[in-house]
Amino acid sequence: MKTLLLSAVAVAVLAGCASTRMPEAERLALYQAHAGAPVKQIRYYSAMGWDRIDDEHVVLDMRPNESWLLTVSGPCLDWGGASPILRLSSTGPYVMAKFDRILTELGYDSNVLMSGRAGGAGVLRLRAHVDLATLPPQRLDEKSRPRLEFRVGAGLEYRQFFSRDPRVGNTQQVNAQSDAHLALWQGEPFSLRASNHFLVTNDARNLEIANAQTFAPRIYDRLAVLATYRPRNGPLEIGLGESFRVDDFVQDELHSDRSLANELNLYGQLRVLPQTTVKLELRSSYVNYYNSSSIPNSAPLRIIAGASSLLLPWLGASLYLGYGNSLHFGDPSRLYRPAGQANPDVSYNNFVGGLEARLRLIRGMRLTAGWARDFFDSLFATFFSDDHLYIHYEHNLWRSLSVRANFDTYLRSYGALAPPNDLLYRAYRNGISVRKDVLVGFGAEATYRPLSWLEVGVSYSVLNDATDFGFVDGTGTPSDAAFVKHVLLFKADLAY
């Protein structure tokens, strides 16, 4: 990200130009022609507002006479059915122009394996991250405009556990992730973006754990291409994207959940007012469970329409609603569907949608509340659907002291279950054929940045999964799928 200071006169003149719907390329050239020299960071407490120039540039208004031009990279301003809210990095009162950092966390996890029989452990986490990107020149015209921009980021995390529970012991783990983004012809009517996200992780996918005795390492990669067209660089954007995904679980008991998938994404969005956007989107996928003898392949389909707007200076809102179907096909007889019992549907066939409100009631505070419904791939079944209710709070209390609190509830329902022997269990407890969960999570964090390159903080989180579902292992021992997990961490974050 590059950060440039704009003169007050330039901001006033250019704001008037924006109201006349000047083409994005011309607006950007004017802003950059009036911008000062790049800086590494700016002080950020409570911005008055912001305005999108294009997918790579934002004007951030801090005060009546102070505005900054931010150059971002990657899908920072993508909507994707959610709200077009500007989210800046968590660096206290600073917005920093690069994100190379080392994070150290030390604390305690009361239930490392997310098991009904909790196994606690001390935990040490060391994370390193580096982010490299092209920086466009300060002043651009049609001849000097860069045709290619890229960003490459990579992170590596080392974890060390300290536990007397033999299931955890002194386990050592390494997680890794990388992101690459390539953009061509930005600011022109036709643009092209390509991205790749690679992940090696021991964390649970969608808060699901199949075996309460071990971790669940997973290798994930997603390659995506998106072409967009804006007629005359106007308010209408049409996009066509394609992605390919590999999701490979290392555990033998999860071999049936290894999958290959591709997705086609077609959308049109129109900015009807400076702060109001409407969008219509179609997403069609194909998922192949290449090692599964029971879970049938699927062709998920979603058709979604939505709108997002800044209703008042202190209130923004977004709404989207549509239809979704997981469209599983193949032989359902290999699924777990006991005779004489009420069995869930093989495919999800219902509405999807969401509603969100964003409030800034007092200076330095952001409050977000909403609801979202969608369906997802599952370890235990053909799918699960979530009704997600959430309230997220952020507040810069004083100088560089910030607090955050998140409250999330997931009302989760599963489709047709996979046979228990697919997960190396003898049976589901009490022969149950329907699974429903209520997951309630709360997290709070306080951070303080005494220096521009150092942030310290403390966080606490709790997650409770309430369900009557359970398993019976090969020895006939029953176990609960319900669990409670507490995590307390102290951290030090160094940016360099």
* Residues whose CB is less than 8 angstroms from the CB of residue 236 and which lie 6 or more positions away in sequence, other chains included: 230, 268, 269, 270, 271
- Band of pLDDT at residue 38, cut at 50, 70 and 90: low
Name which of 59-63, 317-321, 425-429 the model is least confident about. 59-63
Could you tell me the residue range of the domain that residue 283 belongs to? 101-495
pLDDT band for position 91 (50/70/90)? very low
Average pLDDT over residues 327-348: 81
Same domain flag for 76 and 126: no
| Domain C-terminal end among 47, 75, 96 | 96
CA pair distance 182, 194, nearest whole angstrom: 5
Which has more confidence, 146 or 273? 273
- CB-side neighbour CA atoms (13 Å) of 287: 26
State whether 119 and 63 are in the same domain.
Answer: no
Distance CA 209, CA 60 (A): 42
In sign, the C-alpha dihedral spanning 99, 104, 107, 110 is positive
Instruction: Name the DSSP class of 30.
Output: H
Angle at 406 between CA 401 and CA 412, to 5 degrees: 165
Residue-level pLDDT at 74? 47
Buried b (16+ CB within 10 A) or exposed e, 319-334: bbebebbbbbeeebee
Residues 405 and 395: their CA atoms lie apart, in Å, by 9
Q: How far is CA 24 from the centre of its chain?
A: 28
Residue with the bigger pLDDT between 113 and 16: it is: 113
Give the pLDDT confidence score for residue 340 in this predicted structure.
66
Report the mean per-residue pLDDT for the chain. Answer: 83
Residue 50 has pLDDT above 90, yes or no: no
C-alpha of 296 from chain center: 27
Query: What is the SS3 string spanning 428-493?
Result: EHHHCCCCEEEEEEEEEEEEEEEECCEEEEEEEEEEEEECCCEEECCCCCEEECCEEEEEEEEEEE
How far is it, in rounded angstroms, from Cα 440 to Cα 486?
12
Residue 9: per-residue pLDDT: 37
At which of 67, 96, 125 does a domain end? 96
484 in the same domain as 347: yes
Q: Please report the pLDDT score of residue 217 as a whole number.
A: 85
At residue 348, the 3 state secondary structure works out as coil
| Residues 472 and 361 placed together within one structural domain of the fold | yes
Does 346 lie in the same domain as 197? yes
C-alpha to C-alpha distance for 448 and 454, rounded to whole angstroms: 9
Pick from 20-24, 87-91, 302-306: least confident: 87-91
Same domain, 116 and 261: yes
Global confidence as pTM: 0.80
| DSSP letter, residue 346 | S
Residues 119 and 239 in one domain: yes
| Domain final position from 73, 96, 119 | 96
Comparison of pLDDT for 324 and 89, the residue scoring more:
324
Instruction: Clarify whether residues 39 and 161 are in a common domain.
Output: no
Q: Which two tokens stand for residue 355?
A: 């509603």
* Higher-confidence position of 277 and 100: 277
Q: Clarify whether residues 88 and 111 are in a common domain.
A: no
- The predicted-structure confidence for 148-178, as pLDDT tens digits, reads as follows 788 888 999 999 999 999 888 999 999 999 9
pLDDT score, position 484: 95
Pick from 190-194, 215-219, 348-352: least confident: 215-219
pLDDT exceeds cutoff 70 at 448: yes
Residues 122-154: tens digit of each pLDDT = 999 999 988 877 654 444 444 555 677 888 889
Q: What percent of the chain has pLDDT over 70?
A: 78
Say which CATH number the domain at 483 has: 2.40.160
Residues 232 and 344 placed together within one structural domain of the fold: yes
- Across the range 343-349, mean pLDDT stands at 88
State how many domains the chain has.
2
Q: Mark whether 19 and 151 lie in a shared domain.
A: no
Query: Binning pLDDT at 50, 70 and 90, where does residue 343 land?
Result: confident
Q: Which carries the bigger pLDDT value, residue 121 or residue 101? A: 121
Average pLDDT for 350-375:
94
What are the CA-CA distances from residue 51 to residues 12, 149, 333, 354, 362 (Å)?
A: 13, 22, 54, 24, 21
Phi, psi angle pair for 284, to nearest 5°: -130, 130
pLDDT, average across residues 298-324: 95
Query: What is the per-residue pLDDT for 35?
Result: 67
Minimum mean pLDDT range among 83-87, 166-170, 393-397: 83-87
